[in-house]
Structure 1
Amino acid sequence: MSQWKQIQQLEIRLLEHVDYLYDDNFPMDIRQGLAGWIESQDWDSAVNDESMASVLFTNLLSQLEKVRSQEQNFLQRHNMKIIQQQLQRKYTTNPTSMARVISTCLREERRLLSSACTQEQGALEKSLQNSVAFERQKNMDNRVGIIRGSVQLMDQVVKCIEDMQDDFDFCYKTLQSRESSDRTSETMKQEVTRLQEMLNRLDFKRKEILSKMDVVIKEINDLMSSQLSPELQDWKRRQQIAAIGGPVLTGLEQLQSWFTVTAQSLFQIKRQLDKLGELVVKVTYESDPIPLQKPQLEERVKYLIYHLIKSSFVVEKQPCMPTHPQKPLIIKTGVQFTTKVRLLVKLPEVDYQLKVKTTFDKDLPPGRVSRQFFILTNNTKVMDIEDYSNGCLSVEFRHLQLKEKKYINGTKGNEGLLSVTEELHSLSFEACFTVQGLTIDLETCSLPLVVISNVSQLPGGWASVMWYNLLTDEPRNLAFFGNPPRAGWTQLSEVLSWQFSTFAGRGLNKEQLAMLGEKLLGQHASCSDYQVSWSKFAKENIPGKPFSFWMWLDSILELIKKHLLPVWNENYIMGFVSKEMERVLLKAREPGTFLLRFSESHLGGITFTWVEHGENGDVKFNSVEPYTKNRLSALPFADIIRDYKVITDGVVPENPLKFLYPDIPKDEAFGRLYNSQPSKVHPYIPSTLIPISEMRSSASSTPRSCPSPEPPMTPGEFDMLSENLCFDIDTMSSPYSE
């Protein structure tokens, strides 16, 4: 079943999240119409390969044209034509952006399917879903709309006051032009009375509009402090969680709408106050409310505009190396990285020549970090209007690059107390915004960055990024790892599951997380609220092992991503199970029943263990030496399962693997994943790579606690194998116990 069909069968609470994924950047009509084709393409690779992205974009347009030509419904055919034109405008010059959008959508779909399989969302994800509740957004939409409507009504009142004042001014000047002899007449007195009534009504209207302005300004102030600012902070928090594998980030378009409408309302009030100031020049009187109240109202409006505009300057895309799109906030020296800032306020009168300057570690206190860097490439760009994001102002820096500073003696900075991957840095953005006579200095900064000089530091850097963004919402706490807080196992396990759904397509179920908890926490594994220290997670070695828990887990992630993805996504790898539990599970099973688990003694290794029953009722467990990335590069893992052979004391090789735990016939489980057999019409005699283990008698076998490389086959063994089949030996590995 295609991924898209599985998505459509999700329950409503998850389908509501799917709605957020698809917008004008990637309409759901395309996802529906080209579901199979889209899922068959490698969008992740295209994100980092412009030529590949360009080919995929061209092919997508061709596929869309083909579907459109076959569509019978006239309206649907018309809509698809409009979509096709929009895509051409958006992505013709930047096809990698399209690849990034589609890659993100597909990855989030897989995460949702993974969430559905586990039958339960984690507490962290539930809190994030609550934070974007529909009712709250509707309330915000209504409130912003009411304010906008009130401001527009005030426009009409100001126009009415202007008309009333023109009438009063005309009558007043007409009365002044009368002869002095007429001023004592009865008619003259009536006109003076009428003029006074007009002034009274004008005074009432002036007081009324100023009172309404005061109310609306208070309403906007309350909106900004009680709702708009929290919504922005909530979006920034969700951006942190999305950066470490959580739910895909949405809501920026909605925020831009709220910010823009609020800014438009404030600027309109400012223009209304300017208009009232012009009216005072023409007509004023004793106790005129405008000169008394206008300065204070103007200051309040300017203050709100200032803070609204400053807060609307955000980092839309955190710094990220295109070579590692799923691991943002880690920058390697000498490697280009990208980032993007955006102004959420969209105004037609804004000066679009808005220059943005980037600075690395701006205003960092001396001695805070041991290494210092500077931006090697151009660090200034002009913001531009994005057609495909409703005309917002943004700028994307695509070619930034860091270089470490060298000191006069040619050495680097002094070594600090923190490791390279614990040392946090910051990228700042500055601009000067001018609109309607107001000048506002804008500044924002990225989330803390980890700077590495070698890819071997990437796992440690990613651990730091995860720990920081899980445990704090502070935008620039660069001293965080001086005294890092502990993480509750409940939330940490949820983030670890996200790593598997992000990098391997399927998250971890409750059983697998419980096994991981036992691995990390030992006797505290049953305590869901147990607090894990940073050192225990990423720095201390696992007892008896030369690596930390995180290094072990990250190596498994890499192994799955590069060599085990099909088997992992079929849910055939039990994975995180101890040797003791493995024996409990296999003991009562049919001979030849096996399970797949990750090695506890090797970084990035997977092994399988099968059970045998002796004639005297003894139960024997055999585990093969773990397969690592080097060995799996030669053979797909499913083919290893299919072709695995054991030589026992000169007996003809046989495959001891019969049933995948608990009782699935091996070929039924893995048949779809086997590589096709070589063609029989090939002019050469076909050969097959066969993984082989050699079973020696117990008297001559190497102790299991200390496995060693296999001795070569004897000439007799080789002749025996040659008589039975043609093969190339892939590897000679011994069954052993870890």
Structure 2
Amino acid sequence: MAAIVSNTLNEEKSLVCQESTTMAQQKDLDHKVNKLKKSVQEIEQDIQVLEDLQYEYDFKKNTLEGQVEAETNGRTTTEMQQEEMGITVLNIKIEVVIKEMANVLTLAEQIQHTLISDELPEWKKRQQMACIGGPHNTCLEHLQSWFTAVAECLQQIRQQLKKVQELVQKFTYNNDPLTLGKSQLDEQALSLFKNLISNSLVVDRQPCIPHYPQRPLVLKMGVQFKVKIRLLVKLPELNCQPKVKISIDKGFSEMDTVKGFRNFLLLTNHTKVMNLDESSECLAAEFPHVILKERTPSNRTNEWSLSLTIYEELHLISFDTQLILPDLCIDLSITCLPVVLLSAGMSNTIVPGLVSSAWGSILWYNMLCSEPHNLTFFLNPPPVKWEQLSKVISWQFSSVTKRALNSEQLRTLADKLLGHETRDDPEGLVHWKTFLHTSVESGGSLLHWIYEHLQLTKLNVLSIWNDGYIMGFLSKEREKAFLIDKPPGTFLLRFSESCREGGIIITWVEHSQDGEPVVHSAKPYTRADMNRIPLPNFIRDYTVTAGEKDPVNPLVYLYPDIPRDVAFGRYYTSASDGRDFTFTYTVGLLYALHTFVMCHIWHAKETAQIPK
């Protein structure tokens, strides 16, 4: 218990520190972006001052030239000095503007480097963790606001450079500082803008089947899936309705020669126009009805063999588009996280464990792969620390319910994966094959056991699970230890290891004639059973017969000491629900008929002016 509390407190401290660090980084970036926007506005004001000075100089020069022509005596030394002084003032102001622009571009480059090298990869990592059940607050809006702000500033700088150039072209100055530095600044601003736009295309929603939004990246052939991409920069000049092309395994031609690696076709409209998304007000394109079909296998010579099963074979879906602006053309490309493609018709009933194995592959890849698009990851998958794996397994429950796995449930899973001796070692390593092939009593894998009981929890006992009334993953030894010292009639609920498609085992304690506690278990209550009779009703109506005694319900207190009806009373459904409904409906109909008759009689009396 002390170790559990210590680990929990350390984890909480780590999360608080991490959140504080993240908030500090965001505030620092917000400060830099605001400074950039303020500096650009100051340059705009300086350019306006420069424009006023030039027009003032132009007016004075034209006036002096008119006087000289009228007097035909030439310009005096004082007039020439005044003209040179005006040119000097203009040159100084231009130098100030050029230096300000150079400083702004340097700041913009620093911010852009932070966005592309730090913030964007961190967001992609957060999205990757969200795909396997992690926290869903990916903060894409923050990223979009920063990208947009820098892009706006770069475009303003480019326009300011053009404006200053137009002003200077009206006059010819000696050693013009703008002519010396303008070309370099223009190229720098253009390069920064193109680089920012090129990195602003992201996958807003990773590929997923609509019926399973909490299981992205596991797809089936012949079953529609959807995916959405988004541009993080929001500028009016980008609303040119670019066309996006979708493709699968693009640019990975080396996989074409791999024995056993399947090739697929996309059955959809391969191009889609990016339009303004109402929620983000950015350009976005959603492909809502994409279907995959396997190509006919070819008889070409294979250079090397990929000894992977279907659920270990990864594929990539890519998007390409082009932004064509009046003076600029930018190519953009983005690729989704790797997906696992199951054959058409495959399901848990036809191929037991295949869907759960594919789900496990997605967990393993996104936990451990440091390379973004490594299709050969499962040729030599690295092991994972139990501390990390247990957190991800717990995420699977917290992402679809209100309750994550507790330390007791994780301890049971650790016992099966690591053994009793190493279960408390957070550094204990779990290998992919161990995770995939460790079996339970039913003969299925541990991974399949976890997956099926997750489905059972979500579809059949969600409210009871959220209330904390189901122990879940619990060994028989720990089950007995919990109940042995409890009063007779105390019972608990745990997941069954013998049911391949998931089930709940009810175990209770009673005392023998000599006063010794004895633990009994009912047969597993399966998902099929729950579809006929809800679990709370089964607990309420469960009875056993001992000898010649009348049947009794041995389930009295839910562990640790909650009366059965207090725990499950609000979930009971009456066996006479149908009769009660018929009676209520009949009474209501009679009341309506009575009201109609009385109103008709009242109306007749009013019409005939008969005293009531």
Deviation at 1:193, TM superposition (A): 0.2
Alignment match of 1:580 (pick from 458, 477, 480): 477
Aligned residue type for 1:285: Y
Is the 1:125–1:247 contact (alpha carbons within 8 Å) kept by the matching residues of 2? no
Alignment match of 2:269 (pick from 353, 371, 378): 378
Q: In structure 1, how many angstroms separate the alpha carbons of the residues matched to 2:150 and 2:561?
A: 63
- Partner of residue 430, structure 2: 532
Aligned residue type for 2:263: Q
Aligned residue type for 1:593: T
- Partner of residue 26, structure 2: 137
Deviation at 1:134, TM superposition (A): 3.1
Aligned residue type for 2:153: S
Q: In structure 1, how many angstroms separate the alpha carbons of the residues matched to 2:161 and 2:468?
A: 66
Matches within 5 A, 1:367-406: 367=255, 370-389=261-280, 391-406=281-296
Alignment match of 2:499 (pick from 586, 602, 612): 602
Secondary structure of 2:254's counterpart equals coil
Q: Would the alpha carbon gap of residues 313 and 466 (structure 1) be closer, same or farther in structure 2, given more than 3 Å must change?
A: same
1:416 maps onto 2:306 in alignment: yes
Deviation at 1:124, TM superposition (A): 12
Q: Deviations over 1:135-177 (max 9, x none)?
A: 3323222221111111111112222223323333444455555
- Partner of residue 92, structure 2: 204
* Count of residues in Structure 1 that have an aligned counterpart in Structure 2: 563
Alignment match of 1:430 (pick from 290, 309, 320): 320
1:495 maps onto 2:392 in alignment: yes
- Partner of residue 662, structure 1: 560
Q: Would the alpha carbon gap of residues 628 and 681 (structure 1) be closer, same or farther in structure 2, given more than 3 Å must change?
A: closer
- Partner of residue 568, structure 1: 465
Is the 1:370–1:414 contact (alpha carbons within 8 Å) kept by the matching residues of 2? no
1:624 maps onto 2:522 in alignment: yes
Deviation at 1:363, TM superposition (A): 0.7
Deviation at 1:682, TM superposition (A): 7.2
Deviation at 1:236, TM superposition (A): 1.4
Task: Please identify, of 648-657 and 586-595, the stretch whose mean Cα deviation from structure 2 is larger.
Answer: 648-657
Aligned residue type for 1:427: I
Q: Would the alpha carbon gap of residues 321 and 120 (structure 1) be closer, same or farther in structure 2, given more than 3 Å must change?
A: farther
Q: In structure 2, how many angstroms separate the alpha carbons of the residues matched to 1:165 and 1:438?
A: 31
Q: Deviations over 1:33-92 (max 9, x none)?
A: xxxxxxxxxxxxxxxxxxxxxxxxxxxxxxxxxxxxxxxxxxxxxxxxxxxxxxxxxxxx
Is the 2:417–2:438 contact (alpha carbons within 8 Å) kept by the matching residues of 1? no
Unmatched segments (≥5 aa) in structure 2: 1-6, 349-353, 583-612
Secondary structure of 1:401's counterpart equals strand
Matches within 5 A, 1:244-393: 244-367=132-255, 370-389=261-280, 391-393=281-283
- Partner of residue 599, structure 2: none
Aligned residue type for 1:152: Q
1:189 maps onto 2:77 in alignment: yes
In terms of Rg, which structure is larger?
A: 2
Aligned residue type for 2:342: I
Task: Please identify, of 135-144 and 424-433, the stretch whose mean Cα deviation from structure 2 is larger.
Answer: 135-144
Aligned residue type for 1:156: Q
Q: In structure 2, how many angstroms separate the alpha carbons of the residues matched to 1:520 and 1:333?
A: 32
Is the 2:314–2:339 contact (alpha carbons within 8 Å) kept by the matching residues of 1? yes
Deviation at 1:624, TM superposition (A): 1.8
Secondary structure of 2:417's counterpart equals helix
Secondary structure of 1:388's counterpart equals coil
Alignment match of 1:164 (pick from 27, 38, 53): 53
Aligned residue type for 1:324: Y
Aligned residue type for 1:336: Q
Is the 1:172–1:195 contact (alpha carbons within 8 Å) kept by the matching residues of 2? yes
Q: In structure 2, how many angstroms separate the alpha carbons of the residues matched to 1:181 and 1:629?
A: 107
Unmatched segments (≥5 aa) in structure 1: 1-117, 685-738
Deviation at 1:408, TM superposition (A): 5.2
Is the 1:524–1:530 contact (alpha carbons within 8 Å) kept by the matching residues of 2? yes
1:613 maps onto 2:511 in alignment: yes
Deviation at 1:683, TM superposition (A): 13
Aligned residue type for 1:638: P
1:126 maps onto 2:24 in alignment: no
Q: In structure 2, how many angstroms separate the alpha carbons of the residues matched to 1:132 and 1:442?
A: 32
Aligned residue type for 2:574: S
Secondary structure of 2:479's counterpart equals helix
Is the 1:140–1:227 contact (alpha carbons within 8 Å) kept by the matching residues of 2? no
Deviation at 1:365, TM superposition (A): 3.1
Is the 2:408–2:474 contact (alpha carbons within 8 Å) kept by the matching residues of 1? no
Secondary structure of 2:400's counterpart equals helix
Aligned residue type for 2:414: G
Aligned residue type for 1:381: K
Matches within 5 A, 1:29-108: none
1:441 maps onto 2:331 in alignment: yes
1:221 maps onto 2:109 in alignment: yes
Q: Deviations over 1:659-706 (max 9, x none)?
A: 22222222222222221241696799xxxxxxxxxxxxxxxxxxxxxx
Q: Would the alpha carbon gap of residues 343 and 683 (structure 1) be closer, same or farther in structure 2, given more than 3 Å must change?
A: closer
Aligned residues: percent identity? 42
Aligned residue type for 2:513: E
Q: In structure 2, how many angstroms separate the alpha carbons of the residues matched to 1:120 and 1:155?
A: 53
Q: In structure 2, how many angstroms separate the alpha carbons of the residues matched to 1:440 and 1:680?
A: 66
Q: Would the alpha carbon gap of residues 548 and 122 (structure 1) be closer, same or farther in structure 2, given more than 3 Å must change?
A: farther
Secondary structure of 1:654's counterpart equals coil
TM-score by length of 1: 0.71
1:233 maps onto 2:121 in alignment: yes
Deviation at 1:396, TM superposition (A): 1.1
Aligned residue type for 1:168: Y
TM-score by length of 2: 0.85
Aligned residue type for 2:264: F
- Partner of residue 505, structure 1: 402
Q: Would the alpha carbon gap of residues 614 and 631 (structure 1) be closer, same or farther in structure 2, given more than 3 Å must change?
A: same
- Partner of residue 455, structure 1: 347
Secondary structure of 1:397's counterpart equals strand
Is the 1:371–1:413 contact (alpha carbons within 8 Å) kept by the matching residues of 2? no
CA RMSD of aligned residues (A): 2.9
Q: In structure 2, how many angstroms separate the alpha carbons of the residues matched to 1:432 and 1:308?
A: 14
Secondary structure of 1:671's counterpart equals helix
Aligned residue type for 2:293: K
Deviation at 1:404, TM superposition (A): 0.8
Deviation at 1:356, TM superposition (A): 0.9
Secondary structure of 2:465's counterpart equals helix
Is the 2:50–2:94 contact (alpha carbons within 8 Å) kept by the matching residues of 1? yes
Q: In structure 2, how many angstroms separate the alpha carbons of the residues matched to 1:554 and 1:282?
A: 74
Q: In structure 2, how many angstroms separate the alpha carbons of the residues matched to 1:122 and 1:663?
A: 31
Q: In structure 2, how many angstroms separate the alpha carbons of the residues matched to 1:679 and 1:666?
A: 21
Is the 1:123–1:491 contact (alpha carbons within 8 Å) kept by the matching residues of 2? no
Q: Deviations over 1:558-596 (max 9, x none)?
A: 122222223212211112221122222222222222221
Matches within 5 A, 1:456-495: 456=348, 457-472=354-369, 474-495=371-392
Is the 1:125–1:246 contact (alpha carbons within 8 Å) kept by the matching residues of 2? no
Q: In structure 2, how many angstroms separate the alpha carbons of the residues matched to 1:129 and 1:577?
A: 33
Is the 2:416–2:438 contact (alpha carbons within 8 Å) kept by the matching residues of 1? no
Q: In structure 2, how many angstroms separate the alpha carbons of the residues matched to 1:517 and 1:340?
A: 38
Q: In structure 2, how many angstroms separate the alpha carbons of the residues matched to 1:520 and 1:245?
A: 21
Deviation at 1:473, TM superposition (A): 5.1
Q: In structure 2, how many angstroms separate the alpha carbons of the residues matched to 1:405 and 1:415?
A: 19
Secondary structure of 1:608's counterpart equals strand
- Partner of residue 589, structure 2: none
- Partner of residue 490, structure 2: 593
Q: Would the alpha carbon gap of residues 351 and 653 (structure 1) be closer, same or farther in structure 2, given more than 3 Å must change?
A: closer
Secondary structure of 1:444's counterpart equals strand
Q: In structure 1, how many angstroms separate the alpha carbons of the residues matched to 2:449 and 2:381?
A: 21
Q: Would the alpha carbon gap of residues 323 and 608 (structure 1) be closer, same or farther in structure 2, given more than 3 Å must change?
A: same
